[in-house]
Amino acid sequence: MRLGFSIGTLGPVAASPEDQLRLVQEAERLGYASAWASEGYGADPATTMAWLAAGTSRIELGTGVVQVSGRSAVATAMAAATVDRLSHGRFLLGLGASGPQVTEGWHGHRYERPLAYLRDYVAVVRMALAREPVRIKGETMELPLPGGSGKELSLAIGPVREPLPIHLAAMGPRAIALAGEIADGWLPIHFPPEHLAESLGLLRKGAAAAGRDVSEIAVSPMVMAMVDEDADYARDIVRPMLALYLGGMGTKAVNFYNRLAHRLGFAEAAARVQDVYLDDGLGAAMDELPDDLVDALALCGTPGRVRERLAAYREAGATSLIVGLGAPTVDDRIEQLGLLAELNA
């Protein structure tokens, strides 16, 4: 099982661009296979990867993830081909449907039939990256627009890597099956290894429906990580991000991370975290996160425990484990990168 490193939603803005590059260069030196940047409503991940490409030479660079409501499928294909060429074939395109809060509030795109839209979107991205004339009449998308003066167009440049790998963020059963059907990789987030192993059956089901071999699909869970001899301190480092996801990443009715906690047997605690977050904010919600829920969703604790959990992810079928770090300083995060690499060896 390889390691990946997620720099999060703010990319080079969270620290200085030079510090973020330093972190990714250290990950590359330590043998990490990939670095990822997410989107949310922060820094643009494709631009961030272009910046990191200039200062690295081997590590793969992924978007984890681009929201499909935020740009047209051909615009995403153009960005992917460009960054892949800038990085000499190291780009990984991670896509996700996001949720109604961001999709409707930020991008002005109705959150309707998200999986059907994601299927059509991936089909167009693949078509464009293959430099084929783009034409589709899907369930949610038709190009060129009917009755207009539009014409079929082809991308003027192609990626270095053909086909360029497309990874899908997926948490629910139907979304996981879709990833097995149409994607080169699956990006679950906050999945403990036990749930990852159970969910692989859904990935296999989707792959079988498409006549594919599931072993060809990369399985890359994304988790918050913190190693420390003081297990309580390690939990406290990851607690703010987990409280944000369970409490505020979505609406009261639609929060996929909160639903995950319900499926894992933490329904009462998850509901309480969300209620407190919406009423009183992040700080209060952090106090409501029980230790066992933190332990389930994150890779944190003593070196011995983290080593055991890394082995559990490996045995569960993860081909890569993408770690996000909340340690307070750049030097602390560099230390964490080294500790995790050593524990995964």
Quick one: how many helices (H) and strands (E) in the chain?
A: 14, 13
Parallel/antiparallel/unpaired status of strands 66-67 and 91-96:
parallel
Please, which pLDDT band fits residue 154 given cuts at 50, 70 and 90?
very high
Q: What is the pLDDT of residue 12?
A: 42
Chain centroid to Cα 242, Å, comes to 15
- From residue 13, give the alpha-carbon distance in Å to each of 4, 91, 202: 20, 21, 37
What is this structure's pTM?
0.96
Spatial distance between the Cα atoms of 131 and 87, rounded to a whole number of angstroms: 19
| Domain boundaries of the chain, sorted by first residue | 2-225+302-344, 230-301
pLDDT tens per residue across span 7-58? 987 654 456 889 999 999 999 999 999 999 998 788 899 999 999 999 999 9
**Residue 185, C-beta contacts closer than 8 angstroms, at least 6 positions apart:** 92, 94, 165, 166, 167, 168, 179, 217, 218, 219, 220
Residue with tokens 């060429």: 85
What mean pLDDT do residues 190-219 have? Answer: 97
Note if the bond before 163 is cis, omega within 30 degrees: yes
Q: Are 294 and 242 in contact (CB under 8 A)?
A: yes
Q: What is the architecture of the domain spanning 2-225+302-344? A: Alpha-Beta Barrel (3.20)
Q: Is the dihedral of CA 285, 291, 296, 300 positive or negative?
A: positive
Backbone φ and ψ for 186, nearest 5 degrees, come out as: -120, 130
Q: Which range has the worst mean pLDDT, 119-123, 148-152, 174-178? A: 148-152
Among 111, 113, 114, 249, CA closest to 190: 249
